[in-house]
Structure 1
Amino acid sequence: MNIAKKHTLLLIDDKPANLIALKSILESPDRTIITCNSGNEGLQILLKEKISLILVDVQMPEMDGYEFVEITKQHPSTASIPTLFVTAISNEDKYINKAYELGAIDFLFKPLNTEITRKKVESFLKIWDYDQELKRLNEKLVAKNGELEQFANIIAHDLKTPLNNIKSLVEFIEEEHLLDLKEEATDLFDMVKSSAMTMSKLIDDLLHYSKNVENNEGKESLNILNEVNTVIKLINPNNDIKINKLNLNHNISFQSVPFKQIIQNLLSNAIKYNDKQITEITISYDDALLQIAISDNGPGIPESQAEKIFQMFYTLGQSSRGDSGTGIGLNLVRKLAERNDAKVHFNSNYKEGSEFIISELKPA
């Protein structure tokens, strides 16, 4: 019986032996695997094939992996394809940061660990599936909010239940066989639990996204200062976080819950990705320009990523606190602002950290 091919993977490496080894690890009846020996050849393939995941070697002649990814992220048709770097280069921060800045989603280090390689590929193919399904739904259900919400609830139930079961089973095995487990097995169990938690958070974010992007009713007069104070109480920042509030005692016309969600997301990102000993955030309102600015003293965002960060599932990698996002939050922020006739953008001219602007706010 022939099994329908669900995913097409593109493997790029200038050494044929590496391609053979990687292909043997990833082969599956429901996958088509295309291999090529250069970045230029890979770009030609992307013009013809619908690719679910790219695995590209970093060190190649003529066009290295970094250059290849930079080109793919500049074109709308290929920008959202998840990309894994396969490399023998040291896993120093400078190499990893460069990859994340370009838009790669993760690394596989040579010599490849078969189990880790398979798990990572499976995880990112699942994310690709969710992205494709969401795109199909958005095309079909533009005016059918109820069906979209129903679908999201089904996803949340059907996917989170087995994920929770996996996490519970792994914890049970660890508890029952703690003394028998080797260090390598313990590390693999930790990876499984971490992947389950990441996928669970992704599902929660997708559910929240589907519930919030469609409704455009219920605007009311909001006091910016009161709303910001409410959000800060929810976030409950630590003593190492300083939040300055400037000229916020003004009223705007906005939906209450979406406004809080926008502020909470931008504040949470400013905290999560900050790399300083004391995190300092400033929230200010310009009543002449009718805009709110949220700035921080963090590491900043490369100008080349200023617009990409609003794309669905696009992330800048791991935060300085060790966790990472799902790439849904800023996309949701922009959608919620647009539903209230406002705009959100990243201020690429801000040089001391990051600054996001919520503009075209209507006074109440």
Structure 2
Amino acid sequence: MNTIKHKLLLIDDQPANLIALKSILEKHDREIITCNSGNEGLQILLKEKISLILVDVQMPEMDGYEFVEITKQHPTTANIPTIFVTAISDEAKYINKAYDLGAIDFLFKPLVTEITRKKVESFLKIWDYDQELQKLNEKLVAKNGELEQFANIIAHDLKTPLNNIKSLVEFIEEEHLLDLKEEATELFDMVKSSAMSMSKLIDDLLFYSKNVENNEGKEAISILNEVNAVIKLLNPNNNIRIAKENLNHKINFQSVAFKQIIQNLLSNAIKYNDKAITEITISYNEELKQIAIRDNGPGIPEGQAEKIFQMFYTLGKSSRGDSGTGIGLNLVRKLADRNEVKVYYNSQFKDGSEFVISELQTA
């Protein structure tokens, strides 16, 4: 039993032409449907899933140009590849008109059998690729829907304890305001500020996952302001010194994505540092259009400079005893790709670690 892979629609007002063309294109996995007018062809398109249309240009009532113009206006038929079969001169004005309407190629009469077969075969392959891409896109849309739902759940689960923390702190302050010393009051303010910052970050990430695709959402951002916001969120202690050099510049970047990149790189520089005093420098090079984040830690073992960007790849426990999830640097790489920049580890830097964000676009 033969399985039909493609359906071809041939339209010509001359029955003899249809017989000749059909005989050239017949194959065991094709169903070839013929008709004698554009109107009849439109009716067939309403009922059948067609892979390729071959239409004669010169026909009474509705010519090939008019037929193609109608099909390209309807979403269910707009992407069906269409070839004009014509005896009209191959002058540029006729060809340009056809391409403007959306036809993909011409076959000139009298037809050359081998050329006709090869062209049809090529465009059917294109059709197959397009169908595969549509299926993949449908799967991606479904997956994105699942991820969005998952993000909502995670955001809710994270914000609930944060809201509880804020409420408890406010309750303690109200009930014991007179008993609190100045130092304790400052600590409570830090807890509230951190909880509010984390809540805002969750909201931003949720908005980002829902609304930002590819490289959309770029804006002119201040490197210095974004870095300062991240440092405030991290709230480093006195053993961590972060120097900022030449950051008072603007670049085009998704704000939330940039903060996430900087936060991950700074967090790693702090987490994996093995010195009594952690020293980190963030600098911007105008000429090279790149940001470098350097630290005085142990560096990355030779041969692992690229592996660290793989999902779930970790270097084991940090010098402080905790271990990473292997997600942070993979996220950094994806966010960089989304903003059309590069992030890499500079293996030539020998006094610690250096991560570079390059190919930045100035604003």
After TM superposition, the score normalised by the length of structure 1 is 0.46
After TM superposition, the score normalised by the length of structure 2 is 0.46
- Which is higher, the Rg of structure 1 or of structure 2? 2
Q: Which has the higher contact order (CA 8 A, sep 6+)?
A: 1
